[in-house]
Amino acid sequence: MAKRAWKIPPEENDELDAWLPEDERESYLERCVERPDGTVEFLSIPLTPEDFLNPKLGDKWAQGRPHGRAVLYFNDILERHLGRDEDVLVLNDVQLLTGPGRRGPAPDVMVVRGARNPDLELWRFDPVKQRAVPCLAIEVLSQIKALRRADQEDKVQLYQGLGIPDYLLVDPPLSRTGNRFRLQGYHLDPEGSYRPIEPDAQGRLLCASVGLRFGVSAQGDQVEVFDARTGERLLSSREQEEGRKAAKAELERLRAEVRQLKSSGR
């Protein structure tokens, strides 16, 4: 049986969302409902763990800026590195069916190899029809205690049962985490049970199914992703653009220096 994803000290668990304002200790679900007369009504109702684990198409809820930034970062990194392969899907906010006619959660990010129809415009992923199971699921933990518990406990059991080889949980940098990212991972053993991924000497977690290692930067403000075979750190689109701008600026500086030397006759 899979163990709980996080060994939270009792005092931290009891006060997990106590630092939030009273009116922000629960999240609200926005759901579009069509009435019998054809009119549409938007409902705002408290988001329950049941809805979190089994959303309806079109459901929306607020997760906050740290959560959104982390999801976009992982989606960008994985799409750039893995999405070049034709049979690889990198999906975010796509519902994962857990059985015939059974909806499931929508992982923040998931990677699928060997999907039967990789080019479909998917809003639901059916492992039976696609003849493929996601090889990696990433969940960025919520600030709300009940939703965190769903990621740390319910989804551990669920993803283990589906046979997803690697499951990575990401705690974004917030005041209660010392403004540092925290990572925890699970890997499916030969018996089909999740075991915690032990960090390597650099504190990185190997997700063998995608050949990547995930670690936290020395400052704690960024998750760094490395190619497990070459050790190369993968750059996001933003980092690559910043690198190009820096290289261009340096080239212009050197050209200006050469022009100055020529004009001075040196």
DSSP state of 35: -
Kindly state the average pLDDT of the residues 10-26. 47
3-state secondary structure of 58: coil
Using the predicted structure, report yes or no on whether residue 47 has a pLDDT greater than 80: no
Pick 214 or 259 by higher pLDDT: 214
- What are 32-41's pLDDT values in tens digits? 566 676 665 5
Distance from C-alpha of 69 to C-alpha of 79, rounded to nearest angstrom: 15
Is pLDDT above 90 for 73? yes
Closest CA to 130 of 193, 88, 74: 88
For domain 10-24+52-234, the question of CATH label 3.90.1570 is answered with: yes
With cut-offs at 50, 70 and 90, classify the pLDDT of residue 4.
Answer: very low
218 vs 178: which has the higher pLDDT: 218
Report whether 221 contacts 179 (CB < 8 A). Answer: yes
Q: What is the structure's pLDDT at 256? A: 75
Q: Which of 91-95, 115-119, 146-150, 183-187 has the highest mean pLDDT?
A: 183-187
Which pLDDT band, with edges at 50, 70 and 90, does 140 fall under? very high
- pLDDT at residue 10 in the model: 42
Q: Which residue's structure tokens are 């007369």?
A: 37
Q: What does the pLDDT read at residue 265?
A: 64
pLDDT number for residue 23: 43
- In the chain, what are the domain boundaries? 10-24+52-234, 235-266
Say how far apart CA 221 and CA 143 lie, in whole Å.
Answer: 17
Rounded mean pLDDT, 231-235 = 93
61 Cβ contact partners less than 8 Å away, ≥ 6 residues apart: 27, 28, 29, 30, 47
Per-residue tokens: 217: 């930067």
Please give the average per-residue pLDDT across 213-230, as a whole number: 94
The yes-or-no verdict on residue 88 having pLDDT over 60 is yes
50 has pLDDT over 80? no
Instruction: For the chain, give the mean pLDDT.
Output: 79
Q: Indicate if the pLDDT at residue 187 is higher than 60.
A: yes
| C-alpha–C-alpha distance, residues 57 and 175, integer Å | 33
Confidence check: pLDDT of 90 > 70: yes
